[in-house]
Amino acid sequence: EPEVTQTPSHQVTQMGQEVILRCVPISNHLYFYWYRQILGQKVEFLVSFYNNEISEKSEIFDDQFSVERPDGSNFTLKIRSTKLEDSAMYFCASKQESSYNSPLHFGNGTRLTVT
Amino acid sequence: GNSVTQMEGPVTLSEEAFLTINCTYTATGYPSLFWYVQYPGEGLQLLLKATKADDKGSNKGFEATYRKETTSFHLEKGSVQVSDSAVYFCALRVSTGANNLFFGTGTRLTVIP
């Protein structure tokens, strides 16, 4: 069964550094998402992406964050200058259809640790 | 607003015990309700869903019924197995406005032989 893949599985970075989290969505999917989960807290929506542009973003997704689909297969989340509070598990997800009942397929997540 | 509250864990059960993980929600509009599961080292996987009141979602022996009157979507399984050990997330999506999922905090289940 096709899967969403995320790399790396764990990323450690120093405060102030830029990080890029990578995702390869399922190949025929058109809608892409990033979520994050700070340890012990809820899984939170960050951003959705369709047709090469952001369709929706949460208040968490400030100017330090950006997303890109550089080559038609990868979907990346960039944090420009990481802060300690960015430490979290980041999940990428994709789905095929726009219907709100269409299921999201999630990757295994990237654990980001900012020191 | 839209939010999900689920039973705090961790939950530890013996094999073949009965499982209930409570989930209640508040939502604007008419939500669809989901349970996702995260096995160790893996991503979030859709376990089951229900799209309207009184619908029952089921999969792998797990069930949950969409109860509009109590705004609940409790997850149940009659006889858990060691392989059910995972983190379970309740989530909702509303039909208007934001096209994203609202998750609970997750409940870690450990089943011991």
B contacts of A3 (beta carbons < 8 Å): 43
Q: How does residue B110 score in pLDDT terms, banded at 50, 70 and 90? A: very high
Strands (E), A1-109: 5-7, 10-13, 19-24, 31-37, 43-50, 53-57, 65-68, 75-79, 88-95, 105-106
Residue A91's closest CA among A13, A19, A15, A9?
Answer: A9
Query: A4 in contact with B at a CB cutoff of 8 Å?
Result: yes
Strand partners, A88: A112
Residue A104: what pLDDT? 86
For tokens 């019924």, name the residue.
B65
- Mean pLDDT along residues B4-18: 93
Q: Per-residue pLDDT for B52 more than 80?
A: yes
Peptide bond preceding A8: is omega within 30 degrees of 0, i.e. cis? Answer: yes
Residue B69: what pLDDT? 94
Nearest to B32 among A56, A93, A101 (CB): A101
State how far the Cα of A95 lies from the Cα of A106, in Å rounded to an integer: 9
Residue A100: what pLDDT? 67
State how far the Cα of A79 lies from the Cα of A70, in Å rounded to an integer: 16
- The answer to which of B16-20, B31-35, B82-86 has the lowest mean pLDDT is B31-35
Q: Per-residue pLDDT for A54 more than 70?
A: yes
- Mean pLDDT along residues B78-98: 88
Verify whether the Cβ–Cβ distance B105 to A91 is below 8 Å: no
The answer to whether A80 and A69 have CB atoms below 8 angstroms apart is no
Verify whether the Cβ–Cβ distance B45 to A91 is below 8 Å: no
Between CA B92 and CA A39, with CA A23 as vertex, the angle to 5 degrees is: 55
pLDDT digits (tens, 9 = 90+) for B25-51: 999 878 899 999 999 878 888 999 999
CA count, 13 A, side-chain hemisphere, A12: 1
Q: How does residue A98 score in pLDDT terms, banded at 50, 70 and 90? A: confident
Residue B96: what pLDDT? 61
The answer to whether A75 and B13 have CB atoms below 8 angstroms apart is no
Residue A109: what pLDDT? 93
